[in-house]
Amino acid sequence: MIKSHSSKPLIKRALACCVMGIALNGASTAAAERPRVGLVLGGGGARGAAHIGVLEVLRENRIPVDCVAGTSMGGLVTGAVAAGLSPDEMLTAMGEADWRAMFDDNPPVEELNPRVKYRSRRFIPGAEMGMTKEGAQTLPAVVQGQKVKLFINRLVRSQYGGPLIEKMPIPVSIIATDLVTGDKVVFREGGLTHAMRATMSVPGLMAPVKDGDRLLVDGGLVDNVPIDEVRDRCKADVVIAVNVGSPLMKANDIGGIFAVAGQMINILTEQNVTRSLATLKSGDIYIKPDLDGITAAQFERYAETAKRGRAAAEAALPRLQALGVGEQQYRDWLARTTPVRGGLPVVDEVRIAGLKRVNPAYPGRYLKDYDGVPVDVDRVDKDMGLIFGDGEYDHVDFAMLSTRDRNILRVTPLEKEFGPDYLRFGFNLHAVSSGPSVFNLRAAYHKTLINSLGGEWLGGVQIGNEMGAFTEFYQPLDAERRFFLETKLSFVRSPLYIYQDNKRLAEYAIDQAAVEVMAGINVGLWGPVSVGWAERYRSAGLETGSPLFPAGSQRFGGFLARLDFDQFDRLYTPTRGWSAQGSYFHAVGGDYDKAELDLRAAESFGDYILHGRVRGAGSFTGALPFYDAVTLGGFLNLSGFARAQIIGESLAFGSVRGEKIVGKLPLGLRGDMRVGVALEAGKVNGRYTETSLDGWQNSLTAYVGGETPLGMVYLGYGYSSNGPGNYYLFIGTP
């Protein structure tokens, strides 16, 4: 017989097991009610802003996701999701970004160091070729992606510390392509911003990202809609796949090398998208926004693109809503998947890493006064741009590193792999209806970082209407390259046309040789001021026509002072800023001196730009001799007269120009297109030519032009009441 007291514990244990079983079964049932959801965000350039609209709908309907995978622009949005940004924050970031400027790596011209400005006026910016043991190396893409990387850093809040994919609160995968092997590269760990920048590297447009021995580009080449990745990443039961890819172009739309290259990329992308979509299951949800008329380059239409993504997601709501959860459960999910950030870290140390050839003090000149203050991302971005603007790096990046007791701002300037020796090129075509055209080609060998202080040598030749050669050596005297010594030797033979009563009567061949030894100081980013000694040689010989101009030769030397300040925001087509170029030469024993000053300013009012210029030249102690005379005439230099038509002992010149921006060049190319009108007035005293032109001369000029990768392009007409009037075509560098 069993006693009653022994049965009570058994009953209690049985009841407890039942209760536990019911609880567990309830929990599992609840879990089963919410399938694991994987979100796939495809690539498509600017069309990827549609993903933000989809995310808005998911948030409003409380649809949590368990993992996210993205490619290209979808990879950018994936990174933003991992960093905990809301759709509203993503839209704000898209709106604040200057996407056109983002695809021009360099900072505004006023923030470039003076040596870069000097070279950019003489040679085509970005047309350099690196000289290595393997031979000449060209740039791998139109842009290096410097500003794109800084935008990515800002987007995911890198100032709080370099985010790692494996430490993100939600599992994410970002897809790239190994350009060497063609293999798919999946980032499931490592630096988040590094992966985002890699997947954004459109081949030919943006430079590949180096990752160990790999060169990484846009993942859209191998897997533009990575459906299989989310199935594997979080064992997704349901996949929400968003496809924003560009359709193939029609035959009539394929014109030019860029269109052909774009079509080839689209073909590769569409092929892998077709394969990916074939893996969708009946329970998956496919969203393809109607993005007709929106191209991969139209980032400025981000708000409209996001609305179209939202519309497509709302059309899928009957199926999406089945994945929604309760308010509390969704709040819990948001809390788990949103990174927790405290206040901005205080910088205890600035550390420059990775330099092999450049003295760390050189980029370090921009990184002072950081210690002891919270990191300021605006300042950091600007200083990264200034360092990049030195022209010696493929890109410049930063990261916040935290140890037990110190916050370190680590700056990594990655030196150009194809340097430090370069070939540089320039050219110009100056065609004018009232006189001969001028065409010149310029090529130079540029050797940099000769020593630890940054010494450099530049030597080259020019062929065309103006034949010559030059060699220059520039030696900084301190690690920050503030003080310098400079020597120059040059020779050029150029034609000089003699005019009288608007008729070309003679042509002279002018030989000019010069030697300069100068010492100077760079006044911040304004430019250099230098003093020294110059030896000059001039020779004039009659080629054709009447001997109306003194022939012969003259050698003269003297003291030389020079300043070259440039604070314009653009190299050729400024919208704001100012510049001041001036020189003073005292000819020892030559009984004269020569002073020149050229002041310019610009200010913009929306799409309208106002320019002003004042120029003067002459001698304080005596008349300028013929071999060192000044000239007026030529495009925007008294345009109604031919180039250098008026020659004399001194001059005064002023002009006012108004321009309107009427269009922009395609994304990835610099500048904009403008129409302009100029009012000019000039006076030459002691004239050697056009001796009958007394007093002030006027000119009215109308033109259209723009800045291109080859330099400036202008087409215009100059009218003067006393001049011949001229049609102009100018292409290239000055």
**What is the longest distance spanned by two Cα atoms in the chain?**
145
Q: How far apart are CA 478 and CA 38, in angstroms?
A: 57
User: Nearest 5°: phi and psi at 64?
Assistant: -80, 155
User: Is-contact 433 726, C-beta < 8 A?
Assistant: yes
Terminal alpha carbon distance of the chain: 115
Q: How far apart are CA 580 and CA 564, in angstroms?
A: 6
Question: Which residues, including other chains, have CB under 8 Å from residue 565's CB and lie 6 or more apart?
Answer: 523, 526, 527, 578, 579, 580, 581
Alpha-carbon distances of 1 from 4, 6, 7, 294, 497, rounded to whole Å: 9, 11, 12, 87, 135
Q: How far apart are CA 500 and CA 727, in angstroms?
A: 20
Which DSSP helix (H) or strand (E) runs through 512? strand 503-523
Which DSSP helix (H) or strand (E) runs through 60? helix 50-60
The yes-or-no answer on residue 530 being catalytic is: no
Residue 652's DSSP bridge partners are: 616, 683
What the block records as the tokens of 674 is 């403008």
Site of tokens 């002009």: 655
The residue from 66, 72, 104, 566 that is catalytic is 72
Site of tokens 């290239």: 732
- Sheet strands (E) in 416-502: 421-432, 438-447, 456-464, 467-476, 483-500
Which DSSP helix (H) or strand (E) runs through 415? strand 407-415
Neighbours of 88 (CB within 10 A): 12
User: Is-contact 146 388, C-beta < 8 A?
Assistant: yes
Q: How far apart are CA 707 and CA 659, in angstroms?
A: 14
Q: How far apart are CA 155 and CA 194, in angstroms?
A: 13
The yes-or-no answer on residue 218 being catalytic is: yes
User: Is-contact 474 484, C-beta < 8 A?
Assistant: yes
The residue from 66, 104, 178, 218 that is catalytic is 218
User: Is-contact 511 536, C-beta < 8 A?
Assistant: no
Burial of residue 464, with CB atoms counted within 10 A of its CB: 0-12 exposed, 13-18 middle, 19 or more buried: middle
User: Is-contact 438 467, C-beta < 8 A?
Assistant: no
User: Is-contact 413 393, C-beta < 8 A?
Assistant: yes
Q: How far apart are CA 563 and CA 580, in angstroms?
A: 8
Q: How far apart are CA 434 and CA 502, in angstroms?
A: 9
Which residues are identified as catalytic?
72, 218
